[in-house]
Copies of this chain bind each other. A is one copy, B any other.
Amino acid sequence: MSATMKDLAKETGLGLATISSYFNGGNVREKNREKIEAAIKKLDFEINEVARGLKTNHTKLIGVVIPELEMIYCAQIITEVEDILRNYGYATIVCDCRSDVKREEEALDFHFHRRVDGLIIMPTSRSGEGLKRFIDHNKPVVVIDRKLPDVDCDCVLVDNEKAVKDGVSRLIKAKHQKIGLIAGPKDVYTSDERIKGYRRALEEHGLEVDETLISRGDYTIGGGAKAVASLLDSRPDMSALFVSNYEMTVGAMIELNERGVRIPEELAFIGYDNKEFAYASNPRLSIVAQPTKVIGKIVAQQMLERLGGDSKKPGGIWKLEAEYIEGKSI
């Protein structure tokens, strides 16, 4: 019923190869391009992407696996990635695995069976095992926020250690010595790196690391609130606090408000990410902010480059710097 490529060839007087080239992003002279587009309109031609996928073995789908879509850090990166890829005709299928390794495996299965052309992942699992079959099938993989062992693919990271080191150093320079850290969960790459940054800041300033000043949350709002509560209870002498992700920053503020702790008079404070939240807080929070837009851009560009043919090149590593934004909380 609907028009075929043959009909387009007939209508335009061009060869099938030219028509096919047009649809597959090949080189087509401007004049011919115009002819084809006029014919598409006239014949009400609809590309059958499904049939095309079977023929070219490309689905033009990119699988995305993230820990939590509701985390603003994820949402901001994905928005950027989706936007760029869509401009190149790629659709992104986003699977939120709720920071659960089992769900992450399922999501990888799901994408694999969907025959996605490439995979973008912010991993929950520490192992890169599940990614190997994509790489074995020549599907480019771009990893965000972590370097996975034994997997050769592009990684886009933030220099987490430096981000936290710089922040904590500012607290030290403001004459704080008893500085609490709300750290992330065990066995998470970003979490480990950020703790390293905290230790290095203290060491570089000749201060001893007191383990009882480190309290672990799980990167959630509730977990952040709890970790702050336990630190306030056990270390009432703490004079400054560094919180190492956005959701825990919100949780910390909830707990501090609940207890009526005054910032910065009773406690100096540095949070993480989301400039708008920092500005909307009273007093305005000092934060370390990750460059989500830039991360999204690099991830999308790297994926496109690999899809364009460079899938055999060894993986590269991009390490971006976080930004320190001064507030009134120190």
Contact = CB atoms under 8 A, between A and B. Distances in A.
A59 B50 contact: yes
A43 to B, nearest CB: 15
Interface string A256-281: 01000000000000000000110111
A282 B267 CA distance: 15
Interface in A84-114: 86, 91-96, 98, 107, 110, 112-114
Majority DSSP secondary structure for residues of A touching B = helix
A69 B79 contact: yes
26 contacts: A46-B112, A47-B113, A48-B115, A49-B114, A50-B50, A50-B54, A50-B114, A50-B115, A69-B69, A69-B78, A69-B82, A70-B76, A72-B72, A83-B96, A86-B110, A91-B93, A91-B95, A92-B94, A250-B280, A253-B281, A253-B282, A254-B280, A257-B280, A257-B282, A257-B284, A280-B281
Contacts of A93: 61, 91-93
A256 to B, nearest CB: 8
Contacts of A277: 250, 277, 280
Contact of A53 (B50, B91, B283): B50
Copies in the complex: 2
A91 B283 CA distance: 43
Interface centre among A49, A251, A280, by most chain B C-beta atoms within 10 angstroms, is A280
A94 B94 contact: yes
A82 to B, nearest CB: 6
A144 to B, nearest CB: 16
A325 interface: no
A75 interface: yes
Nearest to A82: B96
Contacts of A48: 115
A51 interface: yes
Contact of A49 (B51, B115, B250): B115
A28 interface: no
A221 interface: yes
Interface in A171-227: 221
Contacts of A284: 257
Contacts of A98: 83
Contacts of A110: 86, 91
Contacts of A95: 82, 86, 91
A160 B110 CA distance: 37
